[in-house]
Amino acid sequence: MITYFVALVVAAWSIAPILWTFVMSISYEREIFSVPTHWIPEQPTSYNYARIFGLAYEATTVVSGQAVQIRQGLVNSLLIATPVAVVATLLASLAGYAFGRYTFRFKNATLFAFLSTRMLPPITIIIPYYFVFSQIRLVGTYQSLIITYVAAIVPVLTWILLGFFATLPIEIERAARVDGCSRLRALRTVILPMAAPGIAAVGILAFCLSWNEFLFALILSGGTSVETLPPVISGLFTHAAQYTLMSAAVILSIIPTVVLSLIFQKYITQLRIVDAVSVRAE
Amino acid sequence: MARVVLENVTKKFGENAAVGPLSLEIPDQEFVVLLGPSGCGKSTTLNLIAGLEELDSGHIYFNDELVDDKPPDKRDVAMVFQSYALYPHMNVFDNISFSLKIRKMPAEEIKRRVKDAAELLQIADLVGRRPHQLSGGERQRVALARAIVRNPEVFLLDEPLSNLDAQLRVYMRAELKRLHSELKTTFIYVTHDQVEALTMADRIALLRRGVLQQYDTPDQLYRAPSNTFVASFIGSPPMNFVDCTVTILSGRPHLSTDMFPMDATGLARVMQQDDVGREFILGVRPEDLLISTEPVGENPVQAKVYVVEPLGSETIVDVKLGNSIIKVTSRAESPPAVGDPVWIGFNKKRIHLFDRKTKELVF
* pLDDT tens digits along B4-50: 999 999 998 877 778 879 999 999 999 999 999 988 889 999 999 99
Residue A195 lies in a domain: yes
Min CA distance, B202 vs chain A (Å)?
A: 25
Shared domain check, A39 and A71: no
Shared domain check, A63 and A35: no
CA separation, residue A60 to residues A30, A56, A141, A240, B114 (Å): 17, 12, 30, 12, 73
Judge contact between B28 and B3, C-beta under 8 A: yes
Shared domain check, A104 and A145: yes
Shared domain check, A66 and A35: no
Domain, as residue range, for A22: 1-45
Residue A86 lies in a domain: yes
Shared domain check, A237 and A178: yes
Residues B263-267, mean pLDDT to the nearest whole number: 80
Residue A281: is its pLDDT beyond 50? Answer: no
* B54 shares contact with chain A (CB less than 8 Å): no
Interface residues of chain A, partner chain B, Cβ below 8 Å: 169, 171-172, 174-182, 185, 190, 193-194, 196, 277-282
Residue A54 lies in a domain: no
Residue A51 lies in a domain: no
Min CA distance, B163 vs chain A (Å)?
A: 6
CA atoms of B302 and B319, how far apart (whole Å): 10
Residue A53 lies in a domain: no
Q: Model's pTM, two decimal places?
A: 0.80
Residues of B in contact with A282 (CB under 8 A): 38, 162, 192
Shared domain check, A16 and A138: no
CA atoms of B276 and B260, how far apart (whole Å): 17
Asked if B83 and A182 come within 8 Å (Cβ–Cβ), the reply is no
* B42 shares contact with chain A (CB less than 8 Å): no
DSSP state of A271: T
With both helix axes pointing from N to C terminus, report the angle between A61-101 and A192-212 in degrees, rounded to the nearest 10.
140
* B82 shares contact with chain A (CB less than 8 Å): yes
What 3-state DSSP class applies to A240?
coil
Residue in chain A lying closest to B135 (CA): A278
| Sign of the alpha-carbon torsion through A126, A128, A131, A132 | negative
Q: How many CB atoms lie within 10 A of CB B226?
A: 19
Shared domain check, A131 and A40: no
Residue A61: is its pLDDT beyond 60? Answer: no
For residue range B71-87, list pLDDT tens digits in order: 998 898 999 998 889 99
Name the range with the highest mean pLDDT among A74-88, A185-199, B121-135.
Answer: A74-88
**Total of domains in chain A:** 2
Shared domain check, A41 and A105: no
Shared domain check, A118 and A25: no
Judge contact between B263 and B305, C-beta under 8 A: no
The pLDDT of residue A63: 57
Residue A282: is its pLDDT beyond 90? Answer: no
For residue range B296-318, list pLDDT tens digits in order: 888 888 899 999 999 888 999 99
Among B38, B77, B80, B81, most A C-beta atoms within 10 A, so best to mutate, is: B81
Judge contact between B236 and B199, C-beta under 8 A: no
